[in-house]
Structure 1
């Protein structure tokens, strides 16, 4: 029996490694899968025990008319040559270019998944232009997935997608969470805390993700500076690649308590940092789906997050964490202090969070939902 052919398209290999590995493993049991991505390393999936063809495509993150047109031509030629049944894109730039190319190549099923919108925090012409690109993407796609229900509602309200054309799989999330990997770990907790000189009785607030201003890190710095001045048993650990020199700004804001602020940089073992923390903080201004929140939840850690689409899907306010309005530094400070004062609340929320992550957002649930979605499209004749 000839397998249906699927091509996943992403701008960078890290997107594939973080979000698509489990999907590829499951889908390749039923479909013939290729990966189109901008990487010279065609063996980058070998360490994950994934053996599928990788096609290097020159997708660049920045906008360039000449480069982007060239990439569309490359993708068009690939799609025509391989005659895929499904093209599935992840991330905005890969989505726009592959949906245009897929439309021109007449690929039967063209799926893009929205994982957040850059234009949400933009204004004026920049916002209009980026929204227009998303509208073009949607016009060229046959099906749109959105990785959270609140984000889908927002996109419908903004006129980007229609109710009929868009879907959310299961309870949301592009890939779910590995509940075995992200779990309470006493040894990791002790090791990380010892590395940074943090005692077991201290309260550790954690941020893990890209360091940029849209993530609200400067708000977190101002709040922690206030918290630290009142509670000497607190620490702030920040983990992730610094894209905008934000780490230095955080250290400057927290100069009076700099010995309590630990900026760790990029890590290959995020699960160990979650295990070491007491509270996870995501003060973001925009999210598609707060995957780091469900990772924290799976590790038994409650979260403090903003009341924005994408985050409200991942935190049950008062049950698995606390929500506050974005950019409200005083509100964030108040929530942090509440977590410090009430270890019983942290424990209760952490327990609830792990149960919810396992029941609603495990990687098995997310992968099964995508496989079933593919099968339903093909059985229905698209």
Structure 2
């Protein structure tokens, strides 16, 4: 099967959309399919080449003249590669593939990674729409996507081609509380800092590690500096191997206000962190409906602080939640994501 994935770029910056697509492309090529990615390029080109995944340069920057050039480049690409399936992971890609597909015979698949964006409705232009959680599927159905178009393929990271041999864990001050997230307000970073400030006096040895980067980082750094516990709040920036931090983390927190699935929860579970996360969108699914992690209301720093306190007060509880995180990990494998995605392709091609 000839499969083409369309992405804006394939940079190694912790973007979950890119990570999912790169994993898929590598496993599809390993299984013997002819696989290519079209994007502006990035650090993952080397990994893709190792798996025999072709890369075509395609600049989809949203400038009028550039979009015309992108359409011409895409047309030439399709003529050359002749995919049976085009799998678009971002909005511009699905529009481009949809607008030009009448001249060719491929079938179009999209994956909805961030359904909270208004423009996510455009992903419904595809012949089949993959939702990364049941919560996303239900949201897209409410927004008018026909149920017969929708399929759920939940994310997973266990066995990812992106994860090589992890180096030695980073030495963190313990007990270590950490998050791995983009520095955006919707990730609940402000509430996490507030919650840490509330628990800090009772646990003077605890430290908070914020792993990630983004446009709102200066705001969060200013908040941390004003905090009475600012000297124990560490901004670590983007880390290409967050597992090195997760291996030394006692409590992993994902305090998002919106989260279609939360790919990092799979990684935190695999590393054996006790997990506290928002009871919102696809997060409960990633945590086996609360069996693998503690669920708290989003945007509620007081309840979040109470949950952290309960774990720090009791080593038995802390260890129990670490153990629970690592149970039932099989379904979070990239092999399962690969298999279910291929099933969507095949069902579409036989119609």
Aligned in 2, Cα 1:71/1:137: closer, same or farther, shift over 3 Å? farther
Partner of 1:90: 89
Aligned-partner Cα distance in 2 for 1:246–1:325:
23
3-state SS of 1:262 partner: strand
Partner of 1:260: 232
- 1:231-270 equivalences under 5 Å are 231-244=203-216, 245-254=218-227, 256-270=228-242
Residues 1:150 and 2:131 are matched in the alignment: no
Partner of 2:152: 168
- 1:1-382 equivalences under 5 Å are 4-14=1-11, 18-28=19-29, 29-39=31-41, 44-46=45-47, 49-60=50-61, 63-102=62-101, 104-119=102-117, 131=118, 133-139=119-125, 141-159=126-144, 161-169=145-153, 172-173=154-155, 175-178=156-159, 188-189=168-169, 191-193=170-172, 198=173, 202-244=174-216, 245-254=218-227, 256-316=228-288, 318-356=290-328, 358-378=329-349, 380-381=350-351
The CA deviation at 1:319 is: 2.6
3-state SS of 2:338 partner: helix
The CA deviation at 1:210 is: 1.2
Aligned-partner Cα distance in 2 for 1:87–1:218:
39
Aligned-partner Cα distance in 2 for 1:96–1:309:
26
Aligned in 2, Cα 1:117/1:64: closer, same or farther, shift over 3 Å? farther
The CA deviation at 1:344 is: 1.6
3-state SS of 2:210 partner: strand
Long gaps (5+) in structure 1:
120-130
Aligned-partner Cα distance in 1 for 2:163–2:103:
41
Q: What TM-score does the superposition give when structure 1 sets the normalisation length?
A: 0.81
CA contact (8 A) 2:121 2:140 kept: no
Aligned-partner Cα distance in 1 for 2:232–2:163:
25
CA contact (8 A) 2:48 2:54 kept: no
Q: What TM-score does the superposition give when structure 2 sets the normalisation length?
A: 0.88
Bigger shift: residues 317-326 or 293-302: 317-326
Aligned-partner Cα distance in 2 for 1:369–1:316:
19
Aligned in 2, Cα 1:334/1:265: closer, same or farther, shift over 3 Å? same
3-state SS of 2:324 partner: helix
CA contact (8 A) 2:23 2:160 kept: no
CA contact (8 A) 1:37 1:56 kept: yes
Aligned-partner Cα distance in 1 for 2:160–2:48:
20
The CA deviation at 1:345 is: 1.9
3-state SS of 2:287 partner: coil
Aligned-partner Cα distance in 2 for 1:20–1:45:
15
Long gaps (5+) in structure 2:
none
RMSD (CA atoms): 2.7
Aligned-partner Cα distance in 2 for 1:179–1:108:
28
Aligned length in residues: 344
Aligned-partner Cα distance in 2 for 1:316–1:137:
27
3-state SS of 1:23 partner: helix
The CA deviation at 1:373 is: 3.2
Deviation string, structure 1 residues 39-66 (Cα, Å, up to 9, x no partner): 278x823477222321111123xx5444
The CA deviation at 1:80 is: 4.1
Aligned-partner Cα distance in 2 for 1:343–1:91:
43
